[in-house]
């Protein structure tokens, strides 16, 4: 069930929402006043569709409480054991409602009972976490109103054409906002990285290549050096300038193997400088790393710091 909940925000942000259930009743009044209310109701309708199979088992006051708690970053409202038991019971109830016999249950057996408040808290927490990126755009009460209308099949305040128009307009605006924020963050990271590298290049032992890659030899090995077409085995630890760890083979407890020509330019160039058995520290400018787009865990225009140990050439 959690997989059904995850991605609700992503669907809205990307304007790629699943096909919706036909609406048979459209309430003309009261009208939804303003973009915030319209967006909240539309998102509620979309979320309501995704959780419709568990609708009969939900306490809506608890659902709203679960969403709000997730928005506020509160502590979990249910224990892991409660979540596991509730989720299992829900899956069995859904299967029975669909005319199926759940694994481990005899044919014709009634589904287990569930605590509707626990269901509401669990589902609400999932919804809240999914929608955290856009929570500032949402009126929670209106969202729940749209959600309930969709789940319960009652009159809705927005027909499908209106919902599609609101979804598209909202998604385009959010996308533009995200791009603007990314550009602003990238410019800040670029300036900080350039300032750091300008000072770091004067530090004792730091060497600079023509591309701008900076490195320091921590331990010099005596084996042969790899070329871009080689496959290498390394241990490494990668951080941002503020020390945030984004990747580390040391923390995973096992080295990594990869083609030296299949990684970021700073790695391809830097590791090729290392004889087997060496350990170097690299400072990689953004243009030799992940650039303006960044990647998971790495912001746009981020300067990267890597400690790399070349174990072998495969």
Given a contact cutoff of 8 angstroms between Cβ atoms, the answer to whether 127 and 60 are in contact is no
Q: Of the listed 246, 276, 307, 312, which one is catalytic? A: 246
Q: Identify the domain boundary among 128, 158, 188.
A: 158
Q: What is the mean pLDDT of each run of 10 residues along the chain (314 residues)?
A: 35 32 40 89 94 93 96 94 93 89 84 93 96 93 94 90 93 89 90 96 96 97 94 97 96 96 96 97 97 91 97 96
Whether 46 and 121 map to the same domain: the answer is yes
Which secondary-structure segment (H or E) carries 257?
Answer: strand 256-259
Which of 29, 251, 44 has the alpha carbon at shortest distance from 127?
44
Q: Of the listed 215, 280, 282, 306, which one is catalytic? A: 306
The total domain count for the chain is: 2
What six digits make up the tokens of 234? 């390394």
Nearest-angstrom CA–CA distance, 41 and 157: 8
Active site residue 306: yes
Q: Tell me, what's the pLDDT at 110?
A: 87
Residue 131 within any structural domain of the chain: yes
Active site residue 264: yes
Q: Tell me, what's the pLDDT at 101?
A: 86
Q: Of the listed 82, 115, 164, 247, which one is catalytic? A: 247
Domain containing residue 279: CATH number: 3.10.50.40
What is the per-residue DSSP string for 101-155? --TTS-TTPPPPP--HHHHHHHHHHHHHHHHGGGGGG--HHHHHHHHHHHHHT--
Residue 189 within any structural domain of the chain: no
Whether 29 and 153 map to the same domain: the answer is yes
Q: Identify the domain boundary among 138, 158, 178.
A: 158
Whether 90 and 227 map to the same domain: the answer is no
Q: Of the listed 134, 264, 276, 313, which one is catalytic? A: 264
Whether 38 and 106 map to the same domain: the answer is yes
Q: Of the listed 280, 284, 290, 298, which one is catalytic? A: 290
Q: Identify the domain boundary among 99, 132, 158.
A: 158
Whether 225 and 139 map to the same domain: the answer is no
Q: Of the listed 215, 236, 280, 282, which one is catalytic? A: 236
Q: Tell me the CA distances in angstroms from 76 to 68, 71, 84, one per residue in order.
A: 12, 12, 13
H-helix segments, 222-264: 249-252
Active site residue 290: yes
Q: Tell me, what's the pLDDT at 30?
A: 52
Residue 195 within any structural domain of the chain: no
Whether 123 and 65 map to the same domain: the answer is yes
Whether 207 and 154 map to the same domain: the answer is no
Whether 141 and 54 map to the same domain: the answer is yes
User: Domain range for residue 121?
Assistant: 2-158
Place of tokens 């939900």: 58
Residue 46 within any structural domain of the chain: yes
Residue 307 within any structural domain of the chain: yes
Residue 198 within any structural domain of the chain: no
* Pairing of the two strands 231-240 and 256-259: antiparallel
Whether 151 and 218 map to the same domain: the answer is no
Which of 211, 221, 230, 182 has the alpha carbon at shortest distance from 283?
211
Whether 207 and 128 map to the same domain: the answer is no
H-helix segments, the chain: 2-5, 8-14, 34-51, 60-71, 80-97, 116-131, 140-152, 160-200, 249-252, 265-271
pTM strictly above 0.75: no
3-state class (DSSP) for residue 93? helix
Place of tokens 């005319």: 99
Residue 181 within any structural domain of the chain: no
Active site residue 246: yes
Nearest-angstrom CA–CA distance, 6 and 221: 47
Which of 130, 118, 133, 129 has the alpha carbon at shortest distance from 77?
118
Residue 192 within any structural domain of the chain: no
Active site residue 250: no
Given a contact cutoff of 8 angstroms between Cβ atoms, the answer to whether 15 and 136 are in contact is no
Q: Tell me, what's the pLDDT at 31?
A: 67
Nearest-angstrom CA–CA distance, 22 and 239: 50
Whether 141 and 224 map to the same domain: the answer is no
Whether 10 and 148 map to the same domain: the answer is yes
């Amino acid at each position: 069930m959690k997989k059904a909940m995850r991605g609700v925000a992503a669907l809205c942000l990307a304007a790629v929402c699943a096909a919706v259930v036909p609406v048979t009743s459209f309430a003309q009044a009261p009208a939804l006043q303003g973009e915030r209310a319209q967006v909240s109701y539309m998102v509620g309708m979309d979320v309501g569709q995704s959780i419709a199979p568990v609708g009969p088992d939900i306490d809506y006051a608890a659902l709203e409480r679960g969403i709000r708690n997730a928005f506020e970053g509160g502590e979990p409202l249910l224990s892991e054991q409660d979540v596991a038991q509730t989720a299992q019971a829900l899956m069995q109830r859904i299967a029975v409602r669909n005319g199926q016999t759940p694994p481990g249950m005899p044919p014709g057996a009634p589904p287990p009972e569930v605590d509707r408040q626990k269901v509401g808290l669990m589902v609400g927490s999932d919804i809240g976490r999914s929608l955290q990126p856009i929570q500032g755009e949402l009126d929670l009460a209106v969202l729940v109103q749209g959600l309930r209308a969709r789940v319960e099949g009652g009159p809705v305040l927005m027909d499908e054409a209106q919902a599609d128009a609101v979804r598209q307009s909202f998604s385009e605006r959010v996308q533009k906002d995200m791009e603007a924020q990314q550009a602003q963050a990238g410019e800040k990271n670029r300036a900080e990285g350039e300032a750091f590298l300008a000072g770091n290049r004067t530090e004792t032992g730091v060497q600079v290549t023509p591309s701008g890659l900076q490195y320091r030899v921590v331990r010099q090995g005596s084996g042969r050096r790899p070329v871009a077409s080689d496959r290498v085995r390394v241990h490494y630890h990668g951080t941002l300038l503020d020390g945030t760890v984004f990747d580390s083979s040391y923390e995973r407890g096992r080295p990594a193997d990869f083609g030296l020509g299949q990684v970021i330019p700073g790695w391809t160039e830097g590791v090729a400088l290392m004889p087997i058995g060496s350990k170097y520290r690299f400072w990689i400018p953004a243009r030799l790393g992940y650039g303006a787009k960044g990647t998971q865990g790495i912001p746009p225009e981020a300067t990267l710091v890597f400690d790399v140990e070349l174990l072998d050439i495969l």
